A and B are shown apart, each in its own frame.
Chain A
Amino acid sequence: MPLIWLLAAILALALVGYVLGRVRAKAQAKGDIRDLHSLPVYYGTNAALATMVPALLLIVVWLLVQPLIINGQVLSMIPESAIPEGGSLGLVMSDVRRVADGLDIAVEQGAMTVEQAASIRTEFTDVRERLGAVGVALGSNVEPEVLLAAQRYRVLSATGNLMMTIAALLLAVGGFLLALRMTHRDFRARNVVERAVLMLLIGAASIAILTTIGILFSLIFNTVEFFRLYPAAEFFFGSTWAPSFSGRGGGSELGVLPLLWGTLYISIVALAVAVPIGLFAAIYLSEYAPPVVRSVAKPLIEVLAGIPTIVYGLFALLTVGPLLVEVFGEGGFLGVGWMQGGTAVMTAGLVMGIMLIPFVSSLSDDIINAVPQAMRDGSLGLGATPSETIRQVVLPAALPGIVGAILLAASRAIGETMIVVLGAGAAARLSLNPFEAMTTVTAKIVSQLTGDSDFASPEALVAFALGITLFVITLGLNVLALYIVRKYREQYE
């Protein structure tokens, strides 16, 4: 039975369980549902859950475990001799699976009978041609061992699936009957359903956390792999970034310092733009702007946050860069000739700063608004002007939150990629001139992984080391921001 029908059957049974559970509970109550511990709907839900949840869990676990067991069994059938020169057992196994899938498809399309699929031998049939006819392309001729293994694989899978279907259905029926038996006047169905809801919520929360941990581990494993191929000291303290793309690796210099410097420099320029503008905008909006202006201007500023970063990148490349060259470039407006091309730290920094304005302003605005009106009244009541009140009372009270907002903006700036790729150029260099092209960690991760270099070479694996470096930096910033915000939040009631 295909999986979808099995699932449909279980769901249908759960639905029946829901209806019957309700009916049974109502029958127990003899018309007065106040006699029941819970509302009838809870008895129904309980029956549906008891039918569905164990069976579905079994299916999930089974689907995860079955391939492992079958692989183990089939693996022993493949002799050393079947492994081609330079290949590996894994490659043969994937061939086995392909042939097995191909046989399945052939049977499904009627090109073979079930018996044929189970009994064909390479000695008598050209399996590759037969499978090719039904649209399954195989790379090489099928070895007899592989075909046998594939047939064995099919048999085991079929038995496994049959057993799973039976077990899941039995479990579903069992849960169904048990739940109906338990449906009694005093049974606390409501509490059981509440527990199920709790489990669902815990599950959702743990998926979020486990994914983070999973991402972290995949980064760590690949980074460890990288450091096996490339010395860590040279990565962290090397001042040259010059990966070779000769393919075989070697001769690459993968020092992270120029990238970190570029990241830092561009972020600083971005924050130098975003923090004053964002903060002043927030102060105007929260303290001075009449409600009409505020109701229009705040959403307008927040629109900036909705612009895709690639659009900002285009803006940097096509508008800001050329504009800056006209001012600071050779023969430009100022006649200083600091800038050679449109892509520079300044270009990317300015545009990124514009992107960050809504972050800073929106968060700061909320924080400034959260300062109690009593503080402002107290200050104004002493004869302070609005600006004195803001400088001496409101901003100090809001400062921790504002620092938190700035740190969040900073971690966003450090992680930004598209604007840098388009606005800052690709040259990794250590320089103080903000009008020179530089590049950042994120931009280099992209360029290291989008080439056609071998995934096991240090040139590709370095991306993971860069990723984890970045992750640690932004994580540190976020933790610091949360710590600051939390530490000072309680102080002003």
Chain B
Amino acid sequence: MTKEIKIEARAVQVFYGSTHAIKDVDVDIEDKTVTAFIGPSGCGKSTFLRCLNRMNDTIDVARVEGSIKLDSEDIYDPKVDPVQLRAKVGMVFQKPNPFPKSIYDNVAYGPRIHGLSRNKAELDQIVEKALRGAALWDEVKDRLDTPGTGLSGGQQQRLCIARAVATEPEVLLMDEPCSALDPIATGQVEDLIDELKANYSVVIVTHSMQQAARVSQRTAFFHLGNLVEFGDTGQIFTNPKDPRTESYITGRIG
């Protein structure tokens, strides 16, 4: 079963000043699929993820070469507005970063700035749908006007996911979304990712190989800035082609 290619990256190079962080990476991200990026710390997987919605633009010394196409349109084309791109390619960060606003305003933030609702009732619906989608609605429905920063770590991260989902992106990038969470919250977020793939293309960076194996259909293994191996998750974990991949998933390097 081949799915439509959502993002097509070819010969991507990233430099931080004089450091060559990403070397010649080719990746195809399929639609309605969870793609996991794994690899040891500092291998460039987060850097590459941030290329996909041009978040690297906010870092002055970062420079990106090569081509990354979203729906066959080059996202680094000067005509492309990075702001619009980021509305289509949402992002959830490693550390939960709710805004210092109420839970409701956190989720309504994206819809408001993009004008996704015509009136308050519609906005209420969007917020409820997003919070339900992030499996948070039942926990917070009675205190939507309390600060989002007052939630627990796992709830905060699900709030951030709800916030990203509310903008109705086409691709959702997640940068180690569970690294600050306990196993129960991690399980909830993983369930959520599984549900999200029905509508979105999800790319997740993770340090946990079990997590990659549990939630993803495709896995890319990065090492020292190179894309070592990219394939179906089952194949990567059971029958890796590259010896480096094998060493990593069996715990010999990392």
Contacts and interface: CB of A to CB of B under 8 A. Distances in A.
Interface of A: 290-291, 372, 374-385, 388, 392-393, 396-397, 491-493
Interface in B88-130: 88, 90-93, 95, 97-101, 109-110, 113-114
Contacts of B60: 290-291
Contacts of A381: 53, 55, 86, 90-93, 164
24 contacts: A374-B93, A374-B97, A375-B99, A376-B58, A377-B55, A377-B91, A378-B98, A378-B99, A379-B99, A379-B109, A380-B58, A381-B86, A381-B91, A381-B92, A382-B164, A382-B167, A383-B84, A383-B114, A384-B109, A384-B110, A385-B83, A392-B109, A396-B101, A492-B149
Contacts of A396: 99-101
Given A380-B86, A382-B164, 12 more contacts: A375-B99, A376-B58, A377-B91, A379-B109, A380-B55, A381-B93, A383-B83, A383-B90, A384-B86, A388-B113, A392-B113, A393-B99
B163 interface: yes
Contacts of A388: 113
A493 B58 CA distance: 22
Contacts of B101: 396
Contact of B100 (A291, A380, A385, A491): A491
B87 interface: yes
Interface in B49-92: 53, 55, 58, 60, 83-88, 90-92
Contacts of B110: 382-384
Contacts of A492: 100, 149
Contacts of A384: 83, 86, 109-110, 113
Given A290-B60, A376-B58, A377-B58, A382 B97 contact: no
Contacts of B92: 381
B236 interface: no
Which DSSP category, helix, strand, loop or mixed, fits chain A's interface? helix
A491 B160 contact: no
A372 B93 CA distance: 13
A397 B98 CA distance: 11
Contacts of A393: 99-100
A83 B63 CA distance: 91
Contacts of A491: 100, 147, 149
A372 B149 CA distance: 13
B97 A375 contact: yes
Q: Which of B85, B100, B114 has the most chain A CB atoms closer than 10 A to its own CB?
A: B100
A376 B100 CA distance: 12
User: Which of A377, A380, A382, A396 has the largest count of B CB atoms less than 10 A from its CB?
Assistant: A382
B97 A377 contact: yes
Nearest to B149: A491
A384 B84 CA distance: 8
B95 A374 contact: yes
Residue among A290, A380, A385, A388 with the most chain B CB within 10 A? Answer: A380
Contact of A382 (B58, B86, B100): B86
Contacts of B147: 491
Interface string B134-166: 000000000000010100000000001001100
A380 B167 CA distance: 12
A311 B71 CA distance: 63
Interface centre among A290, A291, A385 (most CB of B within 10 A): A385
B163 A382 contact: yes
Contacts of B88: 383
Contacts of B99: 375, 378-379, 392-393, 396-397
Contact of A378 (B87, B113, B160): B160
Contacts of A493: 149
Given A377-B93, A380-B55, A383-B84, A397 B113 contact: no
A460 B135 CA distance: 73
Contacts of B109: 379, 382, 384, 392
A285 B55 CA distance: 21
A155 to B, nearest CB: 75
A342 B109 CA distance: 51
B93 A382 contact: no
A396 B95 CA distance: 20
B14 to A, nearest CB: 17
Contacts of A382: 86-87, 90-91, 109-110, 113, 163-164, 167
B83 A378 contact: no
Top 9 closest pairs, chain A to chain B, by CB? A383-B87, A381-B91, A374-B97, A383-B86, A378-B97, A382-B110, A397-B100, A385-B83, A384-B113
Nearest to A492: B100
Interface string B161-201: 00110010000000000000000000000000000000000
A473 to B, nearest CB: 31
Contacts of B53: 381
A148 to B, nearest CB: 79
A381 B90 CA distance: 6
A383 B99 CA distance: 15
Contacts of B114: 383
A294 to B, nearest CB: 11
Nearest to A398: B100
Contacts of A383: 83-88, 90, 110, 113-114, 167
Contacts of B87: 382-383
B127 to A, nearest CB: 14
B116 to A, nearest CB: 11
A392 B114 CA distance: 13
B26 to A, nearest CB: 25
A493 B55 CA distance: 23
A396 B109 CA distance: 14
A233 to B, nearest CB: 47
A392 B99 CA distance: 9
A232 B164 CA distance: 63
Contacts of A380: 55, 58, 86
Contacts of B100: 375, 393, 396-397, 491-492
